[in-house]
């Protein structure tokens, strides 16, 4: 990593990353539980405690996020977690399964809205301004006052919360397996489910879906992010 100061961002990114994934998977588990599937509930995943989610996916919640933080430029985190469900329950209740699939991205959308509200409020009351010189995923705004370290930390946390959760919301709704968008589409349309199941049956189905989704993601996300920036800062 070229800039040693980026090391200071590692704990901020990891806290927000864990919060975002935990809320995402807990939302899946809760909606499945309310819909009659207690698979994830029985494993203790209807919780905002990150530990059960980390225990289920240690690579995706611990190793990969830290590794990608050091490998990406500018630094940001990628990873994954999962909430199991009963496929027979999905067969019987496809629309409930679609709601379960939608619940995770909706949780990320709520966190994006929270981060955006904090950023906008800080700009409106005059404690922050758009970080013109240091603008990045990790710092959308900067304190107006000098040496305001606490305000700077909150600004960075809110910036990361806003950016990361919009990424998670948009990416997970791409309708390709193993992403949540494929489950939402499959639950609403029978033919889409048959296509998804056929792709899942292929050894490269989920991997291919991730590769294609990651390839098209910038074309989907970039205009959405520009709209979000315009709404936040004008």
Asked whether the beta carbons of 56 and 43 are under 8 A apart, the reply is yes
- Residue 25 bears catalytic tag: yes
Residue 144: CB partners within 8 Å, gap ≥ 6?
126, 127, 128, 129
Catalytic residue from among 25, 57, 124, 229: 25
C-alpha–C-alpha distance, residues 178 and 204, integer Å: 11
Side-chain-side CA neighbours of 116 within 13 Å: the count stands at 18
Residues ≥6 apart with Cβ < 8 Å to 205: 177, 198, 199
Cα gap 67→169, rounded to integer Å? 22
13, 44, 105, 159 from 6: Cα distances, Å: 10, 35, 28, 15
Residue 74: other Cβ atoms inside 10 A:
11
Just list the catalytic residues.
25
């Amino acid at each position: 990593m070229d800039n040693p100061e980026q090391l200071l961002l590692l704990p901020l990114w990891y806290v927000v990353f864990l919060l975002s994934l935990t809320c995402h998977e807990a939302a899946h588990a809760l909606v499945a539980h309310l819909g009659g599937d207690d698979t994830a509930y029985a494993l203790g995943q209807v919780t905002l405690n990150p530990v059960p989610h980390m225990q289920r996916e240690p690579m995706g919640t611990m190793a990969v996020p830290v590794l990608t933080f050091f490998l990406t430029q500018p630094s940001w985190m990628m990873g994954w977690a999962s909430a199991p469900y009963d496929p027979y329950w999905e067969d019987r209740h496809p629309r409930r399964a679609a709601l379960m699939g939608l619940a995770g991205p909706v949780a990320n959308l709520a966190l994006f809205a929270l981060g955006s509200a904090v950023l906008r409020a800080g700009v409106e009351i005059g404690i922050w301004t758009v970080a013109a010189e240091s603008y990045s995923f990790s710092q959308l705004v900067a304190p107006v006052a000098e040496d305001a370290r606490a305000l700077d930390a909150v600004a960075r946390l809110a910036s990361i919360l806003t950016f990361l959760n919009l990424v998670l919301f948009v990416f997970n709704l791409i309708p390709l397996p193993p992403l949540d968008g494929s489950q939402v589409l499959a639950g609403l349309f029978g033919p889409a489910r048959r296509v998804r199941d056929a792709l899942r049956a292929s050894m490269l189905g989920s991997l291919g879906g991730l590769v294609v989704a990651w390839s098209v993601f910038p074309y989907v996300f970039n205009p959405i992010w520009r709209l979000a920036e315009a709404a936040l800062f004008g």
